[in-house]
Each structure stands twice: as C-alpha cells, then as structure tokens.
Structure 1
C-alpha cells in the first residue's frame, strides 16, 4: 500500500509528529543524562519533563538500553552542530585544529548540555563496563579524537607543526586539557579555566612547532 507521502508528495503528518515527539524526549534525555548520567534515565523521569506520557515514551524506545543508545546518538548530533560544524569554516590542518579547540571550549562554557560536556559525564560512568551503550560512547570519543588526529597530521604534512610530531600525541594532549577545563569549571564554578585551557593548548602546540601568531581567538569561539 502506498504511503500518504508517496501519494501526495507531502510528509505523513503522523510520522512528522512522531519524529518531533521523539526529538523532544531525546533533548530532555541528553540534558538530564549530562547531569545525572545515562543510568538515571527512565521512562518515568522523562515523562515528568517531556511533552509525552510514560507509556508513549516506552512505545518509542521499548527498553532503557535503546533509550540510552538513542540519547548518545542525539548527543553526538548536538556535539557536531556546536563543535564540528562551526570549525569547518577554518582551513584543514592547524587552523581547523585550533578552531575545533575554540569551538569546544565555547560549547562547554555555554553549557549546551546542562552538565557540561555530555560525553565527559558518560565516559566516566561507563569506562569500566561492557555492552552496547559503552561501545556507543567509545565510538563517539574515538570519532572525536580521530578527527583531531587527522587535522594534526595534516598540520604536520603542511609544515604547520614540526616534522616528526606525533599527531596522536597532539590529540591526547589537547583532549586532556579540554577535559580538565570542563571538569574544573563544573566542580569549582570557575569559568577562568577555559582561558587557562586555551593558554595551555597554545603552549602545547607551539612546543610542537606551531607559529604562535596563528593561534588566536577566545573561549566564545571568536577568532
């Protein structure tokens, strides 16, 4: 049987409403999980903050694990929107790498997720576990770090970082600095850690051969 969309050329209204409802539930889920972790998610708690009842949420996701997996995927979409997409305006290599660091600090500082970086929260929660949710969190982290490694490698190839620089070491160092800024900003309520993080990142990159004058910008992502 042909669908409404196939016959009329218009989207099926029920499907559109269902997608909108699912997105609203997931947007509430990722905010809650960024503060309390993925284990704290439940159909009941989400029904209290999302525009849909518990049975409808259960119908959308069927199990807690599927809800957690969907929340990780939605968080990845939000992360890409706020960190990866803005940095694409910068040229690949060192300019893109630096733009990613600016965008990440702006993302964490602005509390795009109430609990700071969503992935920082759930990495700690699932680091010693096994299963599909851990695998999804690991995949997200590996994607992020491999993207940083790729642009560090491009920077080495372009002569923007010193010959022989290990791109994986560069990525490890800058991720450690970003994570520390996120954690300390939450625990100590100190926004100054973001400026210190960028100062540290500049020091690390110049130690690897970057020209200091190319690493400009602030924690609002302004260059």
Structure 2
C-alpha cells in the first residue's frame, strides 16, 4: 500500500510540474486568457480530468505557472551569478544571464516576467498579484546590487533609480524585439546597451571604502 500511495504522489508531482511549465510557456506566447485546462492537457498529453486531479481549478494552474516561472528564472538568471562579488560585477552577470535565458528560449515566448507583466499589469486578482510580486522582487534585486558600496544620498538615490529604470527598459525592449523578429541576434543591441550602462557606472563609482 505505501508503494502505491508513493507512486500516485510521484505521478501527481510529475503532472503538476509538467502542467505548470506548459502553462508558463503558453502564457508567454498567448497570455493567461489562453491558459485553460484543456490547452494545458493538450500540451502535456494528459486528460483534463488528470490535470484536475492535481489542481483545484484554472486559477490554481495559473498560480502554479507563476511559481514555476519564478523558480526557473532564479535557477537560470540569478543563482549562477552568486559566485560574483556583490555590486556591479554581480549585476552585470545577472543581466548577461538574463539575455542567455531569453535567447535560449527557456520559455518559448522569451521572458515570462516581461510577457506576464504586460498581460496582467492592469488586472486584479491572485495571479496578477503574484506576477507583480515577482517583478517587484526582481527590481528590488537590481536596486540592491546597485546600492552596494554606495553612501545613501539624494544623488546616489537618483543614480540608482535612473539605472533601474534604464535597465528595466532595455530588457523589456529586448524581449519585445525578440518576439517581433523571432531571432535571438535581435537581442544584441539590448545586451550591448546594458553592458555599456553598467560599465560606465562602474567607472564613475568611487572605490569601496
């Protein structure tokens, strides 16, 4: 009996993860309105009833997609950069990792966070809230790395705020260009702009005290 229960749990976990990934992938392409139980079942080769054995409803599939996308983003973009010293060096690696993550089409439509923010940015509800929280954590991470070794001041705050905005704008534009052209090389201009911005900022920064 324990083996039977464990087997069902393993199959359920596998179905949950496969469905969450499929839902995240579909959301980057067609938006969350297209993420239905039927579409996820079709993409995973499961039945709708099989999907509903591990998810309560469509909204829970959407929330699982956000959770999967966040976990995947951390693994692909953020965690590999933690070997770098904090500050501009680490942030530069994070940004380069982001471009690799998008170019490799880890999710078919590019960056889940960019796509889902554009899709749900003005909407309300648990899924939109989860997407906004993911984006807020991302922007806070960028800001935190920019504040390393900086003395708090009005001038410093202005530099940090401006750089966060510029980096965010470059990444959003790069993802949109990829979506419109379908070619990974279309990301190159955005990556160069980010590298130039961070290199200039690093040269302008005073040495750590």
May I ask how many residue pairs the two structures share in their alignment? Answer: 200
Q: 1:13 to 1:211 in 2, by over 3 A?
A: same
Residue of structure 2 in register with 1:205 after alignment: 198
- What secondary structure sits across from 1:174 in the alignment? helix
Q: Spell out the pairing of 1:36-185 with structure 2 (5 A cutoff).
A: 36-156=30-150, 166-185=159-178
Distance in structure 1 (CA, Å) of the matches to 2:7 and 2:160 = 48
Deviation at 1:72, TM superposition (A): 0.6
Deviation at 1:13, TM superposition (A): 2.8
> TM-score with structure 2 length normalisation?
0.87
Please tell me whether residue 25 in structure 1 is matched to residue 49 in structure 2. no
Structure 2's unaligned 5+ residue stretches are: 205-209
Distance in structure 2 (CA, Å) of the matches to 1:163 and 1:66 = 42
Distance in structure 2 (CA, Å) of the matches to 1:191 and 1:40 = 25
- Residues 22-54 of structure 1: CA deviation (Å, up to 9, x unaligned): 111112111111111111111111111214210
> TM-score with structure 1 length normalisation?
0.82
Distance in structure 1 (CA, Å) of the matches to 2:196 and 2:95 = 13
The structure carrying a bigger helix percent of its residues is 2
Runs of 4+ in 1 over 6 A off after TM superposition: none
Q: 1:49 to 1:163 in 2, by over 3 A?
A: closer
Distance in structure 2 (CA, Å) of the matches to 1:192 and 1:16 = 40
Distance in structure 1 (CA, Å) of the matches to 2:129 and 2:47 = 29
- What secondary structure sits across from 1:88 in the alignment? helix
RMSD: 2.2
